[in-house]
Amino acid sequence: MSFWPTCLGMLAVTFGSRLTGLLVRMRLPPFWLRFLHFVPIAVFAALITPSLEGSRGEGGIRVAAAALAGIVAWRTRHLALTIAVGLAAFWLLRLV
């Protein structure tokens, strides 16, 4: 794994995005404004599903714990609480 080139690449695209908006006076077409609205929704969802099952044969437990965490996120919109409940549920379900 080539950490440092990757890290610098991440710096470049992140800082680049942040600076572009502040420096350039431009108007994006409405289609691409809406596209940008949906990018985090689609990417976050795409990051969740492949890593949900895990590789230790605990898929059922993990999905159940994640569902509970999802309900907590929906009701509270609280990041830390959601992660805590998800992990606690995972550990408890494992003991059962």
Partner 1 sequence: MPLWLGVAPFALAYAVLARNAGLSIVETQALSLLVFAGSAQVSAVGLFGRGVGGLEVVLTTFLLNVRHVLYGMSLGRVVPMTRRERLIGAYLLTDEAYGVSVARGARSFPFVLGTEVSLFLVWNAMTLAGALVGGVIPDPERLGVDFVFPVAFLALLVPLLRLRVDVAVALVAGAAAWLLAKWLPGGVPVLGAGVSGALLGAWLTR
**68 neighbors 59 (Cβ within 8 angstroms):** no
How does DSSP classify residue 24?
-
d(CA 85, CA 71): 10
Q: How far is CA 73 from CA 13, 35, 66, in A?
A: 30, 24, 10
In angstroms, give the least distance from the CB of 96 to partner 1: 14
Q: Indicate whether 49 belongs to the interface with partner 1 (CB under 8 A).
A: yes
- The footprint of partner 1 on residues 56-95 (CB under 8 A) is 56, 58, 62, 65-66, 69-70, 73-74, 77-80, 82-84, 86-87, 90-91, 94
Give the binding site for partner 1 (CB under 8 A).
1-3, 5-15, 17-26, 28, 31-52, 54, 56, 58, 62, 65-66, 69-70, 73-74, 77-80, 82-84, 86-87, 90-91, 94
